[in-house]
Amino acid sequence: MKVVLGVSGGIAAYKACELLRLFTESGHEVRVVPTRDALRFVGEPTWAALSGNPVTTEVWENVHEVPHVRIGQNADLVIVAPATADVLAKAAQGLTGDLLTTTLLTARCPVVFAPAMHTEMWDHPATRANVATLRERGAIVIDPASGRLTGADTGPGRLPDPEEIFEVCRRVLRGAPRDLAGRRVVVSAGGTREAIDPVRFIGNRSSGLQGYALARTAVARGAEVTLIAANVTLPDPAGAKVVRVESTAQLREAVLAAADDADVVVMAAAVADFRPVDQATSKIKKTSGEPEPIRLTKNPDILAELGERRTLARNSATPTAGTPASGTPTGGAAGEGATNTGPAVIVGFAAETDDVLANGQAKLARKGCDLLVVNQVGERLAFGTPDNAATILVAGGEPVEVARGPKEDLADTLWSLVAPRLTD
Ligand code: CTP
């Protein structure tokens, strides 16, 4: 595929070299279009050698090829990384002045921006407005990561890892629809741990792979994603806000807070059903006799609680003219003045060993969710493997079978079932 890599003048330009390699090594034809300022950070020979293509920043070179129009017209994807506040402003206003901005005006393919700048610049109302404009027009703008910035500063504004920007672009090139644009999505991933003492815990084998695949896919489909990660060691997906938790109590708090203004909540995390009644504050020592048994108590069921809260909110919402009646899905992110009746779509996961469908149907009803992804576990565990097979149970609809395949495919099927249910 033909990819245009636009590079604007930020210190993170050096990370775009790695992104360029990821594209070329996976067989894409890349044309690098740096701005004049980008060349102050990384020189033209580097871009030319790594891309194997000529590199120009001005519209006045090779004019007979009409590059200011042709490059954009011929592209299958334009990715701007890093995208400075300046290039976002120019793109939002439709200003030109160099080859990158003319390319952005002539491109009719998907356009992805990966902004990187200091937190103050990212948070400035002018930048927020420019980002909102670009998103409204159909661009994917990947929220920057949080962390160390140039100098001693830390905060949101870092360019996400090149591998993770590439993951978004790969999905966009695969034809990811933008059906989650403007939607707020919460995904829980991984497995909770319940402390026995300061060094030991009760946990499970969940790797977080399925939840992370869901988050990555949702970003590529245009969603604003909060990923609540319980003990996951995978790299942060580009564009997702990652909240790290350990125990079920922490997961519950994070999920319920994020669910308040979410359109969709997907509980892909494997939640510990029980926790020790007592947590020792010092390490439990071996004694000569038999060890003390660990007494367990039940954890709250977060998914069921989400369903119950939504039912309560829907029942207490008084229908008035122009307001959806109780029972009508209205996302938490619904416009100003609309009644917040909780997430429009709640999705659960279930691991079953026996009577998979019957147990799944009972769980779907018991937990009050709209969709339930049922994995049969046992002979080949879904935990930690790159593949998954599942049946997606749909409240009031026919089940959907998902054949064994990459967790990314299951994620795509799930979002394709969720998107049409977001109807506000
Ligand atoms: N879940 C939850 N809170 C819990 C337990 C589970 O939110 N305390 C969520 C999981 O994230 C998952 C779904 O509920 O989306 C189903 O989890 P599963 O472990 O299969 O169900 P259980 O409630 O444990 O039911 P059972 O023990 O009957 O299998």
pLDDT of residue 43: 97
The rounded Å distance from CA 413 to ligand 1 centre is 21
Kindly state if the Cβ of 308 falls inside 6 Å of ligand 1.
no
Mean pLDDT of 274-286: 93
Kindly state if the Cβ of 266 falls inside 6 Å of ligand 1.
no
Q: pLDDT-derived band of residue 378, with 50, 70 and 90 as boundaries?
A: low
The rounded Å distance from CA 392 to ligand 1 centre is 15
Poorest-confidence range of 26-35, 318-327, 350-359, 394-403?
318-327
Kindly state if the Cβ of 307 falls inside 6 Å of ligand 1.
no
Mutation choice for ligand 1 from 301, 361, 393, CB with most ligand atoms inside 8 A: 301
Q: Which residue has the tokens 């120019």?
A: 90
How does pLDDT run across 379-409, given as a tens digit for each residue?
555 566 778 889 999 999 999 999 999 999 9
Q: Whose CA is nearest to atom 18 of ligand 1?
A: 350
Furthest C-alpha separation in the chain = 89
pLDDT of residue 417: 98
Q: Is the alpha carbon torsion for 51, 99, 73, 130 positive or negative?
A: positive
In the structure encoding, which two tokens stand for residue 322, read together?
């122009």
| 197 contact partners, CB below 8 Å, separation of at least 6 | 279, 280, 281, 282, 283, 284
Side-chain-facing half-sphere of 356: CA atoms under 13 Å: 19
pLDDT at 324 over 80: no
Q: Locate the ligand 1 atom nearest the alpha carbon of residue 350 and give its number.
A: 20
Q: Over the chain, what is the mean pLDDT?
A: 92
Nearest-angstrom CA–CA distance, 351 and 332? 28
Q: pLDDT-derived band of residue 2, with 50, 70 and 90 as boundaries?
A: very high
Q: Whose CA is nearest to atom 21 of ligand 1?
A: 350
pLDDT of residue 128: 98
Which residue out of 53, 130, 204, 359 is catalytically annotated?
A: 204
Kindly state if the Cβ of 23 falls inside 6 Å of ligand 1.
no
Poorest-confidence range of 83-92, 143-152, 280-289, 313-322?
313-322
How does pLDDT run across 126-138, given as a tens digit for each residue?
999 999 999 999 9
pLDDT at 334 over 60: no
pLDDT at 326 over 60: no
Q: Locate the ligand 1 atom nearest the alpha carbon of residue 347 and give its number.
A: 15
Nearest-angstrom CA–CA distance, 28 and 26? 6
pLDDT of residue 287: 86
pLDDT at 366 over 70: yes
The three-point CA angle 12-18-21 to 5° equals 145
Q: Which residue has the tokens 């969603």?
A: 223
Contact by Cβ (8 Å): 251, 228: yes
Kindly state if the Cβ of 348 falls inside 6 Å of ligand 1.
yes
Mean pLDDT of 110-119: 97
| 347 contact partners, CB below 8 Å, separation of at least 6 | 264, 265, 266, 267, 369, 370, 371, 372, 373, 414, 418
Q: pLDDT-derived band of residue 328, with 50, 70 and 90 as boundaries?
A: very low
Kindly state if the Cβ of 393 falls inside 6 Å of ligand 1.
no
Q: pLDDT-derived band of residue 66, with 50, 70 and 90 as boundaries?
A: confident
Question: Is residue 340 annotated as a catalytic residue, yes or no?
Answer: no
Kindly state if the Cβ of 303 falls inside 6 Å of ligand 1.
yes
Domains and CATH numbers, the chain: 2-173 (3.40.50.1950), 184-421 (3.40.50.10300)
Q: pLDDT-derived band of residue 330, with 50, 70 and 90 as boundaries?
A: very low
pLDDT of residue 147: 87
Mutation choice for ligand 1 from 273, 346, 357, 393, CB with most ligand atoms inside 8 A: 273
pLDDT of residue 59: 85
Mean pLDDT of 27-52: 98
pLDDT of residue 123: 97
Kindly state if the Cβ of 267 falls inside 6 Å of ligand 1.
yes
Mean pLDDT of 333-344: 69
Burial 282-307 (b: 16+ CB within 10 A, else e): eeeeeeeeeeeebeeeebebbbbbbb
Mean pLDDT of 239-260: 97
Shortest CA distance to 307 belongs to which of 254, 244, 228, 372?
372
